[in-house]
Amino acid sequence: MLSLIVGVLSGCAAVLLDYAVETISHLLNGEFWAGSNYEWHLLVLPGVGMLVSLLLLKYVIKDNIGHGVTKVLLSISRNESRIKAHNSWSSLLTSSFTIGFGGSVGAEAPIVYTGAAIGSNIAQISGLSHKNITILLGCGAAGAVAGIFKAPLAGVLFTMEILLFNVSMKSMLPLLLSTISATVVSYIFRGDTPVFACTLTPFAMGNIPFYIFLGIGAGLFSLYFTNGTLWLEDKLSKFKNRFTKWAFCALGLGLLIFLFPQLYGQGYDSLNALLNGHEIAIEGKTVLSFLMKYPWGVPIFFCMVLFFKIIAMTLTNSGGGVGGTFGPTLFAGAILGFVMSRCFNLMGAVVPEQNFVLVGMAALMASVMQAPMTAIFLIAEISGGYQLLIPLIIASTIAFGTVRIFEKYSIYTKRIAQSGDLLTHDNDQAVMALMNTNSLIRDKYPRVLHDASLRELVEIASESDAAVIAVIDRKQRFQGMVDVTASRKYLFHPDKYPEMKVYNIMELAPDYIHYGERMESVMKKFDETQAWRLPVVDDDRKYLGFISKSRLLMAYRAELQAIVSED
């Protein structure tokens, strides 16, 4: 029942976001700008939308909500799948302004974050367990994808391939209920026509070599897409003042969109034109329109669109806008398919360009997101292009295989994999990502000052059954430990009490665990030191407690059972 409710609400959120973006875009691009030689307003509008979003983030929401899919992954691994309540509306609101004003990003990642937040918060209000909170979070994300694309199967596959890597068969039922209910909601308000209805040519076996080349090209281009995006984000992060960064990004984005109007907004108008075999009219819309007069000028122009799309997308997100890489991946894949097919045709081959546009979308999505199943069935569902299932599979799997030679992680997971927060299909790695070091700390061990007498140590040891006593200084900083068993030769000799101090018999710790340290690092320290227990300290080396190997292994076993359990 809860998955149905989450699906309906996620579907409504998807419909609302789609309506908001279309309404704002229609109001801003009406007759007011008609009659101008060039679309000068494209220089300004995207920056204004980014500024509105930035102000909302800074003064109203007061939180960083960008990179929605990555944030969902982090909430699963770091925060027990708990997402803040404001994310149920904040991403929707800010992305509406960002995209409606022409920001060169997609609405899919914000709506996934919104849907996931809806599912997570409903589960928290209902008092569900961690595992069921995670399932409803996945239901919300799946429903959001299904609602925005009218693609129920793609919603389930997206959640399984990208978000929830260890979904049991019993968890499939709520996911399916959520995506179906969200799709029905979308049908009611947006009709049942596919999002990208297109005219396709029947698949021809003779075109298989060209689809193979397209898959390889998509896999190689995805390296630029992912690494170029992350590199540029790092460079732009050096701006310390938000408004200075906004001004720089707004100027750069405005210039790019002025030169290449196809970069305005999500670019789905251009995408629809290509899918139906129509030329994109740019005469009088850009100073580069002269390129259309030459046969090879068309692919050259769209190669530049392809290259600058990644820059425009990054400038939008870094400048204060809120949007995702999902939509730009589809757009860039379509342009890549068009450019490669046009080049094939100019060189003498005869291939259906609209087919390559569609297959290019799937191929680039499979390689950038490293989710081939999601790519294949999403593109088939949103276009009604099941007749191209064979080339969709060929190009997507080849693109995925190509990128995996060079890059292990997707654009969503590369950063969080470096911090050890990534959940994967590998149960061992998933368990370590889910385990919380701080929850394993035990402070049951008695403490003694390092300069205390042996008599004081004996008194403390006699009142405790702990095997180890922590040695600290007067500032509570950890100095060492006393193994009660190993120190018996001193403890039962009263004649030594007056002359010996604790520091004479204490042992130094073989290593320290720092508060909040990643579990992968903790496991490595236990392996290297072969210690049974290690002390935990904060940044000032103040003693917090011990983590024992037995407690760690018990927690590991419990987490592993939770992951693989079918109940």
| Spacing of C-alpha 365 from chain mean position | 14
Q: Are residues 127 and 259 in the same domain?
A: no
Assess if residue 426 is contained within a domain.
no
pLDDT given at position 249: 94
* DSSP single-letter state for residue 536: E
Strands 533-537 and 468-472: unpaired
Q: Are residues 372 and 444 in the same domain?
A: no
Measured CA to CA, the distance from residue 75 to residue 566 in angstroms comes to 22
Q: Are residues 397 and 503 in the same domain?
A: no
Q: What Cα–Cα distance (Å) separates residue 297 from each residue in 277, 342, 524, 526, 547?
A: 18, 11, 56, 62, 66
Measured CA to CA, the distance from residue 69 to residue 473 in angstroms comes to 46
Assess if residue 182 is contained within a domain.
yes
Measured CA to CA, the distance from residue 331 to residue 441 in angstroms comes to 49
Q: Which of these, 564, 203, 483, lies nearest to 358 by C-alpha position?
A: 203
| Spacing of C-alpha 441 from chain mean position | 30
Measured CA to CA, the distance from residue 119 to residue 370 in angstroms comes to 25
pLDDT given at position 55: 93
> Looking up tokens 């997101």, which residue turns up?
369
3-state secondary structure 444-467: CCCEEECCCEHHHHHHHHHCCCCC
Phi and psi, residue 385, nearest 5°: -95, 40
pLDDT given at position 406: 92
Q: Which two tokens stand for residue 118?
A: 């809806």
**Block means of pLDDT (10 residues each) for the chain, length 567 residues?**
94 94 83 53 88 92 82 78 89 92 89 93 89 88 92 89 70 90 94 83 90 96 93 90 92 91 87 82 70 85 93 92 90 94 91 92 93 91 84 95 90 72 54 67 81 79 78 86 74 70 81 81 84 85 84 74 52
Q: Are residues 478 and 385 in the same domain?
A: no
Assess if residue 199 is contained within a domain.
no
Measured CA to CA, the distance from residue 420 to residue 534 in angstroms comes to 21
Q: Which of these, 108, 54, 379, 39, lies nearest to 266 by C-alpha position?
A: 108
Q: Are residues 315 and 184 in the same domain?
A: no
Measured CA to CA, the distance from residue 432 to residue 409 in angstroms comes to 18
| 503 class by beta-carbon count within 10 Å (0-12 exposed, 13-18 middle, 19+ buried) | middle
Strands 478-483 and 468-472: antiparallel
3-state secondary structure 325-366: CHHHHHHHHHHHHHHHHHHHHHCCCCCCHHHHHHHHHHHHHH
Q: 167, 190, 213 — which closes off a domain?
A: 190
Q: Are residues 213 and 183 in the same domain?
A: no
Phi and psi, residue 161, nearest 5°: -85, -35
Position 52: which residue type? V
CB 358 within 8 A of CB 271: no
> Looking up tokens 């937040």, which residue turns up?
117
Assess if residue 151 is contained within a domain.
yes
**pTM flag (> 0.85):** no
Q: How many residues does the chain have?
A: 567
Assess if residue 527 is contained within a domain.
yes
| 466 class by beta-carbon count within 10 Å (0-12 exposed, 13-18 middle, 19+ buried) | middle
CATH number of the domain residue 36 falls in:
1.10.3080.10
Q: Are residues 478 and 358 in the same domain?
A: no
Q: Are residues 414 and 441 in the same domain?
A: no
Q: Are residues 459 and 411 in the same domain?
A: no
pLDDT given at position 489: 67
Residue 209's CB: how many other CB atoms inside 10 A? 10
Position 511: which residue type? D
Q: 393, 419, 445 — which closes off a domain?
A: 419
CATH number of the domain residue 462 falls in:
3.10.580.10
Q: Are residues 17 and 121 in the same domain?
A: yes
Q: Are residues 166 and 213 in the same domain?
A: no
Assess if residue 195 is contained within a domain.
no
> Residue 545: helix, strand or coil by DSSP?
strand
Number of domains in the chain: 3
Q: Are residues 115 and 236 in the same domain?
A: no
CB 250 within 8 A of CB 317: no
| 227 class by beta-carbon count within 10 Å (0-12 exposed, 13-18 middle, 19+ buried) | middle
> Residue 470: helix, strand or coil by DSSP?
strand
Domain that holds residue 227: 205-419
Measured CA to CA, the distance from residue 438 to residue 518 in angstroms comes to 10
Assess if residue 392 is contained within a domain.
yes
Assess if residue 534 is contained within a domain.
yes
CB 323 within 8 A of CB 106: yes
* DSSP track, 241-285: SHHHHHHHHHHHHHHHHHH-GGGSTT-HHHHHHHHTTPPPP-TTT
Q: Element (H or E) spanning 210, and its range? A: helix 208-236
Measured CA to CA, the distance from residue 59 to residue 49 in angstroms comes to 16
Q: Which two tokens stand for residue 543?
A: 């003693």
3-state secondary structure 233-246: HHHHCCCCCHHHHH
pLDDT given at position 567: 42
Q: 397, 419, 441 — which closes off a domain?
A: 419
* DSSP track, 302-317: HHHHHHHHHHHHHHHH
Measured CA to CA, the distance from residue 255 to residue 44 in angstroms comes to 9
Measured CA to CA, the distance from residue 328 to residue 331 in angstroms comes to 5
